[in-house]
Amino acid sequence: MGDSITQDYASSPLDNDASSGKGNGYNSLEIASIASASAIVSVLIALVILFLYTRKLHPRSKIMSTTTKREVTMFIDIGVSITFDNVVTATRNFNASNLIGNGGFGATYKAVIISQEDQNVVVAIKRLSIGRFQGVQQFHAEIKTLGRLKHQNLVTLIGYHASETEMFLVYNYLPGGNLERFIRERSTRAVEWRVLHKIALDVARALAYLHDQCVPRVLHRDVKPSNILLDDDHNAYLSDFGLARLLGASETHATTGVAGTFGYVAPEYAMTCRVSDKADVYSYGVVLLELLSDKKVLDPSFVRYGNGFNIVQWGDMLLRQGRAKEFFTAGLWDVGPHDDLVEVLHLAVICTLDSLSTRPTMKQVVQRLKQLQPQLQTRVV
């Protein structure tokens, strides 16, 4: 009986439609077909509308993308608006006539930015070598960390621009040039021990800050005279800090000009590519030796001592032989306290020892230099 009821229930609609013979109704199959066709048409119309809408917006999106790419991110307010366009204008499209420095990370240009109130602000633009740095997104993240670093002896990072086709950093401009030029031109002026000591202490303080007070700590990896800038009062400022960590993963740190410059690179770093704060200490020691003497790190006069002889070996040799007087730049021995000069030479040599455990920390270097602080009036000996 149950089967009969089921059969009647299942067949009754079809029987009714078939027996009615009426043409003014639709069976379920026809209704389903119409519904499916309507849905397909609706989807097609929606896709066409979406396509046309997207195509219409595409030019606008391209403009917005270009604007974003040309954006300059600022860390501090210097009283004028710095944009991609006025940087290009102020450097004359990075013209050689505005060039004030050239290093392993890129070239630096002087740029005079003019505000709407006709007030001029001078900044330094470091144009980074495209292709040597990691991806743009990673660069954005890392450079913002560097923008938070503040110290009286660090060059101020004002802002930056980073895109696939252009990268540059905006720094405060320092009119005194770099230490490399200072050393090269100092024969034209009187030697002052007070000035040399101040430069040495300023740089040591900057490195001690990077090593001991930054979290995570920052290793410079390219400490050399051209990366130390001066103002008109011979205050020293360390530049290019933190840039070595932004290099692309494909770069090898053993090569010169990548993360370190031949002659200033610690021997263990050059051989193993393993960097530590003691590698910066070594580089600082080499800079200090150059600051005290008339010699370059790989001076031509060292040829007589054999291949590979450098300023580190020369300073150590003279100190051991009791001939320290011969090391110092012309006139310095006559105006500086002899004991203090020898002590600073000894400090520089210790900084460049092969043994990492024997090299001092930069904090210890600062403490020692402060103990050797010259008197305001330098006495002629």
Is residue 204 a contact partner of residue 366, using CB atoms and an 8 Å limit? yes
Q: Which CATH superfamily is domain 73-172 in?
A: Phosphorylase Kinase; domain 1 (3.30.200.20)
Nearest Cα to Cα of residue 239 among 194, 174, 290, 183: 174
Instruction: Write out pLDDT tens, residues 324-356.
Output: 999 999 899 999 899 999 999 999 999 999 999
Unique residue bearing structure tokens 């004028």: 80
What CA–CA distances, in Å, run from 335 to 100, 202, 338?
32, 21, 9
Given a cut of 70, whether residue 124 has pLDDT beyond it is yes
Task: Judge whether residue 271 has pLDDT over 90.
Answer: no
Does residue 22 have a pLDDT over 60?
Answer: no
- Residue predicted with more confidence, 275 or 153: 153
Q: Catalytic residue, from 8, 202, 212, 222: name it.
A: 222
Q: What residue has token string 């229930």?
A: 9
Report which listed range, 186-190, 256-260, 264-268, is most confident.
Answer: 264-268
Q: How confident is the model at residue 161 (pLDDT cuts 50, 70, 90)?
A: very high
Give dist(CA 278, CA 272) in Å, integer.
Answer: 14
Contact call for residues 345 and 320 (beta carbons, < 8 A): no
Task: Give residue 30's pLDDT band: very low, low, confident or very high (50, 70, 90).
Answer: low
**Binding-site annotation, residues:** 126, 227, 240
Domain residue spans of the chain: 73-172, 179-371
pLDDT of amino acid 37: 72
Q: Express as a percent the part of the chain with pLDDT over 70.
A: 80
The 10s digit of each residue's pLDDT in 203-220 is: 999 999 999 999 889 999
* β-pair partners for 278: none
Q: Tell me the one-letter amino acid at 6.
A: T
The alpha carbons of the chain give a radius of gyration, in whole angstroms, of 35
Question: What does the alpha-carbon distance between residue 327 and residue 273 come to, in Å, rounded to a whole number?
Answer: 31
Compute the average pLDDT of residues 223-247. Answer: 92
Active site residue 77: no
Q: How many residues does the chain have?
A: 381
CATH 1.10.510.10 given to domain 179-371: yes
Spatial contact of 236 and 230, defined as CB atoms under 8 Å apart: yes
pLDDT the model gives residue 317: 97
Q: What is the pLDDT of residues 89-105, one digit of tens each?
A: 999 999 999 999 888 78
Separation CA 250–CA 289 (nearest Å):
33
How much is the pTM? 0.78
Angle at the Cα of 71 from the Cα atoms of 65 and 74, rounded to 5 degrees: 150
Answer with the residue of higher pLDDT: 51 or 253: 51
Binding residues for Mg(2+): 227, 240
Q: How confident is the model at residue 54 (pLDDT cuts 50, 70, 90)?
A: low
Domains 73-172 and 179-371 share a fold: no
354-379 mean pLDDT: 88
Concatenating the DSSP letter of every residue in 86-125 gives HHHHHTTTT-GGGEEEE-SSEEEEEEEEEPTTS-EEEEEE
Annotated binding site for ATP: 126
How far is it, in rounded angstroms, from Cα 22 to Cα 45?
35
What average pLDDT does the segment 152-179 reach? 94
